[in-house]
Structure 1
Amino acid sequence: MSRSHDLEETLANVTELVAKRLDADVCSIYTTDADQRELTLSSTIGLDSEAVGKVTMRVGEGLVGVTAERGEPIALEHARSDPLYRYFPETGEERFESFLAAPLIVQGAVIGVIAIQTAEARRFDEPDVELLKTCASLLAPVVVNAQLLALMSTSDERERGDVVSRIAVSDAVRSRQTKIRTRRSEHNVTLRGLATARGVAIGPIFRMDKPVDFGRIVYQAKADVAEEHADFRAAMTEARREIAEMRDVVRDRFGPEFAAVFHAQMQILEDKGFLLNVTQAIDETHNAREALNTVLDSYRKTFEQIEDPYFRERGTDIADVGQRVMEKLLGVRDHVEPMQHGSVVVVDQLLPAIFAQLEMDNVSAIIAEHGGQTSHGVIFARTLEIPTVTGAAGLLEEAREGESAIVDGATGTIYLSPDDALTREFEKAQHRHEVAVEHLDAMRERPAETLDGRRVKLSANAGLLADLRLVEKHGAEGVGLFRTELLALAHRGFPSEEEQEQLYQRVVEFLDPLPVTLRTLDLGGDKGIPNIGVDDEENPQLGCRSIRLTLENRHAFRAQLRAILRASTLGNLRLLLPMIGSLSELREAKAVIDEVRLELDREGSAFDRDLQVGIMIEVPSAAITARVLAAECDFFSIGTNDLTQYTLAVDRGNERVAHLYDSLHPAVLQLIHMTVRAGMEARIPVSVCGEMATNPLSVPILIGLGIGELSGTPAAVPVMKEIIRALDAGAVEADARAALVARTPAEVHAIAASRLREAGLVEHPDIGGWLLQLLDEALAPA
């Protein structure tokens, strides 16, 4: 399907594939018009091909129309006897008895329907329905891209404008806030952005934003127009090769889950409409460069009218691909010049392609004029532990090639051309940090054990294959939380079972025999993506998110469970269900797990029959009823980020109330205490996997409450270990009892800070200075 991208061929390939996969006599695809009021038969195998493009129906008319109207599948063993059945004689469908259809949904809107029919009566079971729904979810974004590319293929400007005006009906793109920047001076030019990835770096500026001025490149068109066509085709081929190489590099470095970001660009280069438009323009102008410019400019103008961010991004993809093709046509070689070791890379946006283009061993930091803290590129940088600042307004205007720069990723501060005094100050800080990391990592084999012999397990949180090397580097004892939703975020929708199984298999094999805890998809809330049907919720954090979302999307949930179970054969895998709020939710999720186990059994697929199933305690109702829940699961993992947010009714992303967010609030500690007691009574392990696990002030309190495992960022593991090794279990148990009766978070902070000081940690040669600063800030009056 990914290799044919004009709309007609794409749909034809899909219908043939689905018909074979589901053993159906008919597979048809119906697409909506721009107003989403009518459906048209756009492709079929099994019905009369003459009906394609001619048979139309209103949304709500007939079985196909009702599928679109309801936005959910319809399965009928005897379709013709159903009162909703509508006969279209042009299709020749009177000989088909059974019917199964699923909607194609993008951005919460139905853009079409895929339907199968059989001549013999057939009762479609749940796996059939789920398979068709999976096909529909994978097909929908492909159809959207193909439709947009088909739109570009028309030469009728009025038609383009009409379609664009209909697309541009969603919320406008929010304008960025402009930041005030200082005027350029010769030294200590200070820029501030977002603290994106921690660390300090000092090095020369290396600018990647230097655009090629195509207007200054001499291009002599060939006398023979056939040669112009040949040059354009060669440029397309070379661009495809280059993007494929970048995709492969990213796959090797970061895993297959993020190679998906290059699929859209490959789809454009393989689109016949794009090729046809340029080919026709070459025939008219006899100049490949002029023809490509004309087509790209036309595309750009069209997409600039679209306000919806999802669709506007397709225009960005096309512009990026067009730039690449133009470079190949004009013979512009890869203009990323060799960089010095320790360079500070300056970019406009932190894009994934950067990590394929650069020798990352020479990069000491990355700074970007635009962008936030959650993009794919940012995740890559954080995974590689590269100090990063994004959203630094004025950077591209101020930064000079080769000048020295200091990047403080912890504060989001950039200093250009720092003077000697400032450089010496940061060189000392950088050296202390590097020495401390080396010392701590060198002692990674030492156990995390208190002075009186209590053992605490230290695990790492991860979400990428590249994270796994950090697990070993920093001495973690496994992965206490693997976030599977990063794959879905990369795909902008639910990933396929096969892709998930490949990823999970690689994770467990890499870490074997260390344990891995895989959390099922935790989407919705602040991790909203298109194509999952939860757009525009009034209060997404309290809406259809996490386990609620997956239970509503059974086909996606079952696909993930099948992938997890099939990857569990080594016996080092555990399954974690997020945001369980009640016993009924737990039982419903476990029932689906049992169904999938039986299904795999019938297929003869191998899996770990003793796979442990645990739940995250991250809503107050789960903590309060922990005794009930403990009787029906194998372990607890306390997600303190959401537990704190829900307990205190504080959105930590809201600047006006973020100061009220504190995981050491006595109310949060009471809920953790209740959870630990329930776990002890049921004899199941209890861990903490939120940010609280790596907060030095929290460590003595959590150990005192009886937490047996802490899971956090890999780089924090050595620091957590040093703190634990300086504590006495009996003393911190007394601290925890005092914290439970404290009246304010400040009182808890004081208890924890006093313990860390008494343990001598502020004199620790590696973490003492940093810890002292943290304690002073924690105890400072508000």
Structure 2
Amino acid sequence: MASFTLHGIAVSQGIAIGRAHLLAAAALDVKHYLIADDQVEAEIARLKSAIKSVHQELQTIRNELPKDAPPELGAFIDVHSLILSDPMLSEVPLNIIRHRYYNAEWALVTQIDELSAQFDEIEDPYLRERKADIQQVGDRVLKILTGTAVNLPEVGDSGATANIIVVAHDISPADMLQFRDGAFGGFVTDLGGPNSHTAIVARSLDIPAAVGMHNASEMVKQDDLLIIDGDAGVVIVDPSPLVLAQYRARQDRLLRERKKLSRLKKTPAITQDGGYIALLANIELPGDAPAALDAGAVGIGLFRSEFMFMGRAGHLERFPSEDEQFESYKKTLVAMKGRPVTIRTLDVGADKPLDEDEQTALNPALGLRAIRYCLSEPQMFLTQLRAILRASAYGPIKLLVPMLAHAFEIDQTLSMIEQAKQQLRERKQKFDEEIPVGAMIEIPAAALALPMFIKRLDFLSIGTNDLIQYTLAIDRVDHEVAHLYDPLHPAVLFLLSSVIGQGRKAGIPVSVCGEMAGDTKWTRLLLGMGLQEFSMHPAQLLSVKYEILNSDLRLLEPQVKKVLRATEPAAVTAGMAQLQALVSEPEVREVKVASARKR
């Protein structure tokens, strides 16, 4: 068979080489037929039984989750259980059977398609990709109804399955438990994006993966030899002997470099000229904290609190209670063993509806979201503030507020924090009276009016994803304009350097917690701008640390100034190339590691 290449989205780095094992989606071959009136109750009972079986199946998987399993797996299985309990999935298909006389499979697929269409309208990329969870839950129910099941090869004692690459239309976090312990080399899916659960779990398991391949499950045949280039998001089917040899050599080199990188976990991130850089982690759940510590993070630079507020359709209360939130924040602090934790207040709104029946704004990205939403729900906001403040009695917390743009928003937020403090004083509950309060700088107006932020707040955190998106008026997940999303646009570089420079001049800490912080392409650029705090996914931390250990600020700063002065794309690109060339990229040098430890 002739070799060919498939292109998708790179979500988990590395090289995987192995034989394809195809997983068929149950929804792809569902029978559609109408039932008689006297068959309705039997069909309803069949669907209810299938849903109950999946509930039990998920609970069993959750209970038997190994202690060393990535925390994301347990959290995602919980999300799937909540989705299964939602009336939109557990009740509406039953009504479709009653009123339209569809068979159980057809009724379920009809409702899944309807919910998927609703999620397609959501602007936020993370939430839009949550439709995959609904489809995965539905697929599990369909497999019970149709008598099919996930059929993965047995993992033998010899570890022979390590060269198997799973190819599927999509795969659920629960099924991904079978990827543990290096049993499988990697996986390829038709669906998914950089924020899909598939991608997140792939990174946490450190398995090479490529998603968003569209029709890979149709084009790849069982036992085809595959190469996954996780860095490029490319899958090579039936490679030539020469290409295979090149990738095997590259795979061996990456494994050697990764082993050497792991030696840097306890090494301080110090540049060659003695500058200390703080490397922190972005997390979404308390269970993520151990992975941050294991990667060598000196703290949490971004705790995305909104994940506690989502998927609550089966709960009596619309929002999590104060005690529920407090326990979550406290658990994170305890897990971080005295290291600082930056908690971002609720970042949802028009593009991240908490309820299915909420109306989507005409332009969600510019609508009632983040702090605007919180200020419109004062009791909910006060509840979260009290929970965060109470947790501050158990360790160092920094309170981060997203999407601030106006002085009155800052003042109103600070007033509500003071109100929450007073409520706790009246209850005689302990908290950190001097808890630092900071702002996400993600709107160009905030970056351009920074003095009013510096005057009122204790620290700043740049959200590069939204800052770039708003500066360039580009939705980077819209394939029609995604090519225009450019971190090196002169306007973006100006805003970044301006915020970092003004913060340093005023003596106020500035961090970057967007994707630029974890991408080694931008490490030297940000260092040369004067950035001293980077916050990223734990899996990215060691690679960034390596860049820092091999950087000299005395060389970087003059070259970055040249890049910032450039106004033409070609000049910016040439300046970046010279910046990268200032420091070679050999293997990790033990001499540098040793000298960094001495410092």
Q: TM-score range by the shorter chain?
A: 0.7 to 0.9
Q: Distance in 1 between matches of 2:106 and 2:544?
A: 57
Structure-2 separation of matches of 1:611 and 1:745: 43
- Residue type of the alignment partner of 1:730: R
Could you tell me how far apart the structure 2 residues matched to 1:683 and 1:470 are?
Answer: 31
Query: Which of the numbers 418, 421, 429 marks the counterpart of 1:605?
Result: 429
- Distance in 2, matches of 1:269 and 1:691, equals 34
Q: In the alignment, is the contact (CA less than 8 A) between 1:528 and 1:534 conserved in 2?
A: no
Kindly indicate whether residue 447 of structure 2 is the aligned counterpart of residue 623 of structure 1.
yes
Does the CA-based 8 Å contact 1:550-1:557 persist in structure 2? yes
User: Does 2:515 match 1:691?
Assistant: yes
CA contact (8 A) 2:283 2:289 kept: yes
**Distance in 2 separating the partners of 1:522 and 1:232:** 36
Letter in 2 for 1:509: V
Cα 1:506/1:615, change in 2 over 3 Å: same
1:383 aligns with 2:204: yes
Give the drift of 1:382.
3.0
Residues 552-576 of structure 1 show CA distances to partners (whole Å, capped at 9, x for unaligned) of 2333323332332233232232111
Per the TM alignment, residue 211 of structure 1 is displaced from its structure 2 partner at its CA by 5.6
2:73 aligned with 1:265: no
Mapped pair 1:198 → 2:6: no
In 2, distance between residues paired with 1:347 and 1:356? 15
Render the CA deviation track for 1:116-145: whole Å, top value 9, x for unaligned: xxxxxxxxxxxxxxxxxxxxxxxxxxxxxx
Q: State the distance in 2 between where 1:238 and 1:499 align.
A: 29
Matches within 5 A, 1:545-564: 545-564=369-388
* d(CA) in 1 for partners of 2:447, 2:119: 42
Structure 2 spans left out of the alignment, 5+ residues? 31-43, 121-130, 156-160, 590-599
Q: Contact 2:226/2:239 (CA < 8 Å) preserved in 1?
A: yes
Q: 1:602 to 1:187 in 2, by over 3 A?
A: farther
The 5 Å alignment of 1:707-746 reads: 707-746=531-570
The residue identity in structure 2 corresponding to 1:518 is I
Q: In the alignment, what sits opposite 1:519?
A: 344
Distance 1:539 1:237 in 2: 39
Q: CA deviation at 1:614?
A: 0.9
1:711 partner SS: strand
In structure 2, distance between residues paired with 1:674 and 1:474 = 30
The separation in 2 between residues aligned to 1:348 and 1:573, in whole angstroms, is 42
* Partner of residue 277 from structure 2, selected from 449, 456, 468: 456
Q: Provide the residue aligned with 2:117 in structure 1.
A: 309
CA contact 1:665–1:744 (8 Å) conserved in 2:
no
**CA 1:310 to 1:530, structure 2 compared with 1: closer, same or farther past 3 Å?**
farther
- Map Cα deviations across residues 732-755 of structure 1 (whole Å, 9 max, x no partner): 332343334332354344334323
SS state of the match for residue 242, structure 1? helix
| DSSP-derived class of the 2:540 partner | helix
Larger Rg belongs to: 1
Per-residue Cα deviation, 1:424-446 (whole angstroms, up to 9, x for no partner): 22111222222212212212322
Q: Are 2:392 and 2:435, in contact at CA under 8 Å, matched by a contact in 1? A: yes
Contact 2:83 / 2:89 at 8 angstroms: preserved in 1?
A: no
How much is the aligned-residue C-alpha RMSD, in angstroms? 4.1
Letter in 2 for 1:627: P
Q: Distance in 1 between matches of 2:550 and 2:116?
A: 54
For residue 337 of structure 1, report the CA deviation from its aligned partner.
4.1
Indicate conservation of the 8 Å contact 2:271/2:548, yes or no: yes
Report the CA distance between 1:676 and its aligned residue: 3.1
The whole-number CA distance in structure 2 between the counterparts of 1:530 and 1:640 is 25
Residue 332 (structure 2) pairs with residue 507 (structure 1): yes
Name the aligned partner's letter for residue 254 of structure 1: P
Cα deviation per residue 1:448-478 (whole Å; 9 max; x = unaligned)? Answer: 2222222111222222456434423432322
Structure 2 Cα separation of the partners of residues 445 and 646 of structure 1: 37
CA distance in 1, matches of 2:226, 2:458: 51
Match of 2:459 among 631, 635, 656: 635
Say whether the 8 Å CA contact 1:403–1:416 is kept in structure 2. yes
The DSSP-based 3-state class of the residue aligned with 2:394 is coil
Contact 2:46 2:104 survives alignment (8 Å): no
- Distance across 1 between alignment mates of 2:185 and 2:526: 35
Q: 1:567 aligns to what SS in structure 2?
A: helix
Aligned pairs for 1:209-608 within 5 A:
209=24, 238-248=53-63, 253-254=70-71, 257-258=75-76, 259-266=78-85, 296-297=104-105, 299-300=107-108, 303=111, 309-310=117-118, 320=139, 322-323=141-142, 325-326=144-145, 335-339=151-155, 340-356=161-177, 359=180, 361-465=182-286, 467-491=288-312, 495-497=319-321, 498-524=323-349, 528-529=352-353, 531=355, 535-608=359-432
Change in CA separation of 1:756 and 1:575 when aligned onto 2, cut-off 3 Å: same
The CA distance in 2 between the partners of 1:212 and 1:463, in whole Å, is 31
- Closer, same or farther in 2 for the Cα pair 1:248/1:582, shift >3 Å? farther
1:697·1:753 contact (CA, 8 Å) conserved in 2? no
- Matches of 1:322 and 1:656, distance apart in 2: 35
CA distance in 2, matches of 1:230, 1:653: 41
* Separation in 2, partners of 1:381, 1:207: 18
The answer to whether the 8 Å contact 1:208/1:345 transfers is yes
**Maintained 8 Å contact 1:664/1:698:** no
Which secondary structure does the structure 1 equivalent of 2:17 belong to? strand
Q: Secondary structure of the equivalent of 1:424?
A: helix
Residue 593 of structure 1 deviates from its aligned partner by 1.8
Q: Counterparts of 2:267 and 2:233 in 1: how far apart (Å)?
A: 34
Aligned to 2:551, the other structure's residue is in SS state coil
Map 1:125-136 to 2 at 5 A.
Answer: none
How far is the alpha carbon of 1:202 from its aligned partner?
A: 1.3
Tell me, what secondary structure is at the counterpart of 1:415? strand
SS in 2 for 1:363: coil
Is residue 89–residue 111 contact of structure 2 (8 Å, CA) maintained in 1? Answer: no
Give the direction of change, closer, same or farther, for the CA distance of 1:464–1:207 in structure 2 (3 Å limit).
farther
Structure 1 alignment gaps of length 5 or more: 1-185, 216-228, 281-292, 768-782
Q: Give the Cα separation in 1 of the matches to 2:479 and 2:54.
A: 44
Shift in Å, 1:260 = 2.5
1:614 lines up with 2:438 in the alignment: yes
Q: Is the 8 A contact 1:188 1:416 kept in 2?
A: yes
Contact 1:260–1:491 (CA<8 Å) still a contact in 2? Answer: no
What is the correspondence of 1:91-106 to structure 2 with a 5 Å cutoff? none
1:571 and 1:611 in contact (8 A); partners too: no
Contact 2:474 2:482 in 1 (8 A): yes
Q: Name the TM-score, length of structure 2 as normaliser.
A: 0.79
C-alpha distance in 2, partners of 1:306/1:717? Answer: 40
- Deviations 1:179-229, CA, capped at 9 Å, x for gaps: xxxxxxx252433333333332112323332769999xxxxxxxxxxxxx9
Match of 1:706 in 2: 530
Report the CA distance shift for 1:642/1:212 in structure 2 as closer, same or farther (over 3 A): closer
Distance 1:665 1:399, change over 3 A: closer
Alignment of 1:134-145 (within 5 A): none
Give me the whole-angstrom Cα distance separating, in 2, the residues matched to 1:611 and 1:419. Answer: 60
Higher relative contact order (CA 8 A, sep 6+): 2
Shift of 1:311: 9.7
Deviation digits for residues 294-351 of structure 1 (CA, Å, limit 9, x no counterpart):
8515734864895873499899689546545547xx7x88754414134212222232
